[in-house]
Amino acid sequence: MSKKEEVLRKPDWLKIKLNTNESYTGLKKLMREKNLHTVCEEARCPNIHECWAVRRTATFMILGDTCTRACRFCAVKTGLPTELDWQEPERVADSVQLMNLKHVVVTAVARDDLKDGGAAVFAETIRAIRRKNPFTSIEVLPSDMGGKEENLRTLMDAKPDILNHNIETVRRLTPRVRARAKYDRSLEFLRRAKEMNPSIPTKSSLMIGLGETKEEIIEVMDDLRANHVDIMTIGQYLQPTKSHLKVIKYYSPDEFNELRDIAISKGFSHCEAGPLVRSSYHADEQVNAAAKHKQLLGEQSTQEAQ
């Protein structure tokens, strides 16, 4: 075995304990009965057993299961999407009710074939969940929707509790990693969301292990904070198939801990960082942390005013 192969062998800390208890199998059955898709399955998330079997949470993926982009890190299938399913928002809302979720994440495939990028269906899904689950907090994770301000406005007018849009990788690697997406357009998307409604926390995720440097990771943190992003997640890139980008480096838990500390020092209200962390990982805890941080800042401002 070559030295390079030895270095890139998957380390012990990336081993996953499978759990297929009744919560897991029941949730999987529910998704099939409701004809719903989850990014947990489509993107082959390593945390699916923990989230489904233990935490009983899931990230719904709307607008079908076929993406118009072919990002070289993502396992979601690419092709020509099907027609819009306007009954999907109600089915998602019904499932949230059946699962009795306190926090729900709604993401979607990129729909560059649609003028609004799918914003109208996103907004209706938020409204449907609110009608049937008034005490459930809602996090949305859209694509950049073509970078059109009116599309983002449609989404923000529905008032999600958290707006999440992933930067995914560092500036230098963006053209190779993210199909059709642009680094600065993602930053602008996050900045505009905060301008439209400053009270809604914004969030972004970075995957590492694709050949970026520590300095470039810190640059991403600075860029996100400069655009008023509140929450950040950092996780290890894992190659889903042999046709996707190869892993250049596996970061250790200690390195992730250091990056989390740096992110917090930059001013993020919360940072989840670890080898198996994904954008929606422990999302329920993140929304609580953001709320506490916001309350603390409000109390500090009141004290300073006095």
pTM of the model: 0.81
CA distances for 139 relative to 22, 55, 130, 152, 306, angstroms: 26, 17, 12, 14, 35
3-class secondary structure per residue, 217-228: HHHHHHHHHHCC
Lookup: tokens for 81:
């999407």
Instruction: List beta partners, residue 168.
Output: 206
What pLDDT score does 119 carry?
95
Long-range contact set of residues 169-174: C-beta below 8 Å, sequence gap at least 24: 169/73, 169/206, 169/207, 169/210, 169/212, 170/206, 170/212, 170/213, 170/216, 170/217, 170/219, 170/220, 171/216, 171/219, 171/220, 171/223, 172/212, 172/216, 173/210, 173/211, 173/212
- The closest of 207, 102, 224 to 161, measured between CA atoms, is 102
271 is in an annotated binding site: no
Of the CA atoms within 13 Å of residue 124, those in its CB half-sphere come to 14
What pLDDT score does 186 carry?
96
45 is in an annotated binding site: yes
Reading the chain (306 residues) residue by residue, the pLDDT tens digits are: 444 444 477 888 776 665 565 665 666 676 677 666 665 554 455 555 555 545 556 678 888 877 787 777 676 777 877 788 899 999 999 988 888 788 889 988 888 889 999 999 999 999 999 999 999 989 999 999 989 999 999 999 999 999 999 999 999 999 999 878 899 999 999 999 999 999 999 999 999 999 999 999 999 999 999 999 999 999 999 887 788 889 999 999 999 999 999 999 999 999 999 998 876 655 556 666 555 555 555 555 555 555
What is the rounded distance in angstroms from the CA atom of residue 208 to the CA atom of residue 234?
A: 7
Residue that the structure tokens 């940072």 belong to: 271
Lookup: tokens for 41:
């399955």
280 is in an annotated binding site: yes
What contacts 248, CB < 8 A, 6 or more positions away? 8, 209, 210, 211
What pLDDT score does 16 carry?
64
Q: Could you give the domains of the chain? A: 18-305 (3.20.20.70)
Helix (H) or strand (E) holding 105: strand 103-108
3-state secondary structure of 186: helix
Beta strands in 145-290 (DSSP E): 162-164, 202-208, 231-236, 270-274
